[in-house]
Structure 1
Amino acid sequence: MTSPKRVDPNLPRLEPEPDDHPALPERDAVRRSFDRAADSYDEHAVLQREVCDRLLERLDLTTIEPRTILDLAAGTGQGSAALRQRYPKARVHPLDLSEAMLRRARQHGSWWRPLPPICADISRLPIADDSVDLIFSSLGLQWVDDLDRAFREIRRVLKPQGLFLFTTFGPDTLTELRQAWSAVDERTHVNVFADMHDIGDGLIRAGLAEPVMDAEHFTLTYETADALMRDIKRIGAHNVTADRPRGLTGPRKMARFRQAYEQFRTEDRLPATYEVVYGTVWKPK
């Protein structure tokens, strides 16, 4: 059985060619954002933990007994640790773009031994062809700047009849935040998220089979718009698009933004909607 290549986080990364589309996330900005947020992530990633747990529950609906598992965008290791517990005989490989997040994962215990975390990009996996039984990814695909390329990589490393199980954010995510900023200017202040149907089409284009997808909405509430934005920043999920405003936002614009967000206030709280897309897809024989 061929196993994924182990990559030292300190080694140089293989980087895909940059994509300068203004609505797509910038890879270096994504890495820097999560590196900075690594120490505060676990304290504030309430939604991310819930979504990961729900994705893990969907494994109850399969009969797969994987020997090799790849956890894409593993972050601080919640999914990897749970997968190791669920499949104790399997080799679980956590992979993330952020070295700081992987260091936090290693601090959470010895679940990852003897396999070191892999620091790499989802769009260019340092993994052998046809070597992974299960690829698990909870809320990682929204940080990829080329989903078609990422899906081709996922198909390449999956074994025939291997399973790809994932969640990502849909376009309704942070719709209130996006609308409030649209009253201020025409710049991209919120990350752009792919539609569920476009994701499904991309999976088919990559040669994956039988995609099953659905979505659900979560609503978090905050006392102020500033509290929401601080929460987003503390988990590294703030705006990383190429078209994002650079530098500090002036006080007048901030005042207009806060005022625009107030239209959504209900029962003295401001909502923040998240659309979570769930997907299951297989590699054909």
Structure 2
Amino acid sequence: MASSERPPTIDPVAAARWERAAPAASPWLHEEVGRRMQERLEWIKRAPQAWTDWEPVRGGLEAHALVAQRYPQARAHVVETVAERAAVARERLGKPWWKRIAGGGAVEIGAVPAGGAQMLWSNMGLHTAADPQTMLRQWHEALAVDGFLMFSCLGPDTLRELRSLYAALGWPPPGHEFTDMHDWGDMLVHGGFAEPVMDMERITLAFDTPERLLAELRELGANLHPARFPALRGRAWQARLQQELAQHLRGADGKLTLTFEIIYGHAIKPLPRARMGEESAVPLSDMRTMLRGGRGRA
């Protein structure tokens, strides 16, 4: 793949398997990143009348609640592509009928209507997509004109300590490579978004034991690298891994540390423009939007 079509090291079969098998729960790190991302909404003065949360069961149910509190009158639309997680979303986020009558934002779960959201929220999911361009197109289609996208994902500096350790031991990579924020910005523009704003931060997590570190990583995801170990490792290898982690990742405070690079992205869906040629085809919905926008500016 070209640099504009990353990620180059995700096995699509493994990514699809993880999408189906991922636990129907929100990892702690996802919730923390979601909390930090919703704080960035303070910079945006426009309040959406409707917003879409893309796979919140993995992305963060507590983060979903924080966004819902910020926009209490907005309708929330939840997209979950796996039946088990859709059931959890329905149980945790769906309001009973008496609360819907009493007022407040409604929550709908299912396929997102085209152009039905003024904000699309996706927390910590894009880095596991084997075909991120398709996901960006889905997000673009779900947004109304002038709607905005908020997303977060892991960046290339994630697990640098673990990657160095595996390389020193001559082992295959412990995880696939993560896309740089500048490449995400390029893909947003290529996908029809405008004015992308990207930033990142690094979060260092500390663990008391190798067992707790590995348990946390299993909650966060799976190794999707095509060159990963081709089969399960045995107990002897697991014991060796824990020994190496304890020896090489332990700091002066006695804790084992791992770095996670977090990328935050923001972009808007602009007024569509017709591509002019000898013959140009424009969808009727886009034509209506262009005409309405033209009259408004006039």
The alignment's TM-score, normalised by the length of structure 1, stands at: 0.78
Amino acid at match of 2:154: F
Q: Give the C-alpha shift of residue 155 in structure 1.
A: 1.7
Aligned to 1:68: 50
Aligned to 2:293: none
1:218 aligned counterpart, secondary structure = strand
Aligned to 1:117: 109
2:267 aligned counterpart, secondary structure = strand
- Give the count of matched residue pairs: 253
2:56 aligned counterpart, secondary structure = coil
Aligned with residue 164 of structure 2, among 154, 174, 179: 179
Query: Does residue 134 of structure 1 match 2:122?
Result: no
User: Aligned partners of 2:70, 2:93: CA distance in 1, in Å?
Assistant: 16
User: Aligned partners of 1:232, 1:67: CA distance in 2, in Å?
Assistant: 37
User: Aligned partners of 1:72, 1:179: CA distance in 2, in Å?
Assistant: 33
1:49 aligned counterpart, secondary structure = helix
User: Aligned partners of 1:33, 1:179: CA distance in 2, in Å?
Assistant: 28
Amino acid at match of 1:275: E
Q: Which moved more, 1:106-115 or 1:248-257?
A: 106-115
Q: Give the C-alpha shift of residue 159 in structure 1.
A: 1.1
Greater relative CO, 1 or 2 (CA 8 Å, sep 6+): 1
Aligned to 1:265: 250
Q: Is the 8 A contact 1:74 1:80 kept in 2?
A: yes
User: Aligned partners of 1:137, 1:85: CA distance in 2, in Å?
Assistant: 17
Q: Pairwise mapping of residues 146-225 of structure 1 onto structure 2 (< 5 A)? A: 146-225=131-210
User: Aligned partners of 2:8, 2:188: CA distance in 1, in Å?
Assistant: 21
Amino acid at match of 1:31: E
Aligned to 2:20: 32
Aligned with residue 31 of structure 2, among 27, 32, 49: 49
Select the structure that is richer in helix: 2
Structure 1 pair 115/221, CA: closer, same or farther in 2 (3 Å)?
A: same
- The CA RMSD over aligned residues, in Å, is 2.6
Aligned to 2:76: 92
Which consecutive segments of 4 or more residues in structure 1 shift more than 6 A? none
Share of identical aligned residues, percent?
A: 30
User: Aligned partners of 2:83, 2:203: CA distance in 1, in Å?
Assistant: 29
User: Aligned partners of 1:103, 1:242: CA distance in 2, in Å?
Assistant: 31
Q: Give the C-alpha shift of residue 22 in structure 1.
A: 4.9
Structure 1 pair 94/231, CA: closer, same or farther in 2 (3 Å)?
A: same
Larger Rg: 2
Aligned to 2:224: 240
1:275 aligned counterpart, secondary structure = strand
User: Which structure 1 segments of 5+ residues have no match?
Assistant: 1-19, 119-125
Q: Give the C-alpha shift of residue 109 in structure 1.
A: 5.3
User: Aligned partners of 1:223, 1:283: CA distance in 2, in Å?
Assistant: 45
Aligned to 1:83: 67
User: Aligned partners of 2:21, 2:208: CA distance in 1, in Å?
Assistant: 24
Aligned to 2:286: none
Amino acid at match of 1:54: R
Q: Give the C-alpha shift of residue 94 in structure 1.
A: 1.5
Q: Is the 8 A contact 1:33 1:237 kept in 2?
A: no
User: Which structure 2 segments of 5+ residues have no match?
Assistant: 1-6, 101-105, 272-298
Aligned to 2:284: none
